[in-house]
Amino acid sequence: MHRERKPSSSDSIDRSRDPEPAQAAGDPRATDAPFALRSIALGGVDAVDFAQAQFTLDVDTLNPRLWTPAAWCDAKGRTLTLMLLAIDDAGVQIAVPDRLADDVVRRLRMYQIGRNVTISDAGPIDSSHADGWPLSFDATRSLIPGTASTPPDWAAWLAEDIRHGIAWILPATAGRFLPQMLKLEELGGLSYRKGCWPGQEVVARVRYRGRVTRTVAAFRGPGDPPEPGATVAVEELEGTVLYAVADPEAPTEHTGLAVVPFAA
């Protein structure tokens, strides 16, 4: 069972810009899922250095064309967006929820002054493509950026992400959680040893001097999925919903991820 509420937050993502999930016929996002993924391309000779300076992942250590989880944080170390990031000969590709894509592009461009880097919306994403790039945490799935001829069944895709603990952030939860709370370190998407990135001092201080008080947990229940930011009971703990979808194996039920306190 879950109890929904309207979240309150001082995050810096503009929620007034949050589009509704697409429902139009022919739109590759048209789905029962709460969101789809969209690709953003970073090009130019400084693309890798730019990504290295902005995101939690050590981009210099990546294998080409391998999607790896990462985050972009604010100055307080709170996650503005989770992403999948990959490098190729053209630069850096990132995949983010479509409901955040426009705002991420807009905000990234604020930091490109003095760098030879282009930042552009590369469009929808394909899956199950012969030339697809695998996921670092699930070699059975792949994505290829900037195309939409075979978009995934996003509801089924997100159900698999839930199983793997991929803690996607949406406007209702942006700017609220440290990357450690989203288990990003366990997914290989958080580096304490590379150079500085937004929020790095706060995130490192929590690791070395503090204590992470919350974590991600899966939940399930009957009926329609709760909205992101709603309150949900997870094994007697009160959590904040990140996202949820109808369970592909039990359509009258839903499954999702929430951020919950560590049990005492």
Task: Give the per-residue pLDDT at 2.
Answer: 37
| Single pTM value for the model | 0.87
Angle of CA points 172, 186, 80, to nearest 5° = 25
Looking at residue 238, what is its pLDDT?
95
Arithmetic mean of pLDDT, 226-247: 95
Tens of pLDDT along 135-192?
Answer: 999 999 999 887 766 778 999 999 999 999 999 999 999 999 999 999 999 999 999 9
The pLDDT of 66-72, averaged and rounded, is 98
Query: In the prediction, which pLDDT does 145 show?
Result: 86
Q: What integer pLDDT is reported at residue 15 of this predicted model?
A: 53
Which is more confidently placed, 193 or 260?
A: 260
Average pLDDT rounded to a whole number, residues 67-90: 97
Q: What is the pLDDT of residue 3?
A: 37
Tell me the three-class secondary structure of 133-166, residue by residue. Answer: EEECCEEEEEEEECCCCCCCCHHHHHHHHHHHCC
Domains observed in the chain: 36-261 (3.30.1360.120)
- Six-digit token pair at 105? 């592009």
> Percentage of residues in the chain with pLDDT exceeding 90?
72
pLDDT at 195: 84
In this structure, what DSSP letter does residue 241 have? E
What pLDDT is stored for residue 263 in this prediction? Answer: 72
Task: Work out the average pLDDT over 107-134.
Answer: 89
Q: How confident is the model at residue 257 (pLDDT cuts 50, 70, 90)?
A: very high
How many residues does this entry show for the chain?
264
**Distance, first Cα to last Cα, the chain:** 22
Confidence band of 208 (pLDDT split at 50, 70, 90) = confident
Q: What pLDDT is attached to residue 148?
A: 64
Model confidence at 251, pLDDT cuts 50, 70, 90, reads confident
User: Which pLDDT band holds residue 128 (cuts at 50, 70, 90)?
Assistant: low
How does residue 127 score in pLDDT terms, banded at 50, 70 and 90?
confident
Question: 208: burial class by Cβ within 10 Å (0-12, 13-18, 19+)?
Answer: exposed
User: What is the band of 11 on the pLDDT scale with cuts at 50, 70, 90?
Assistant: very low
pLDDT of amino acid 23? 38
233, pLDDT greater than 60: yes
Mean pLDDT for the chain overall: 87
Q: Which residue has the higher pLDDT, 225 or 151?
A: 225
- Is the Cβ–Cβ distance between 136 and 72 less than 8 Å? no
Is the pLDDT at 28 greater than 60? The verdict is no
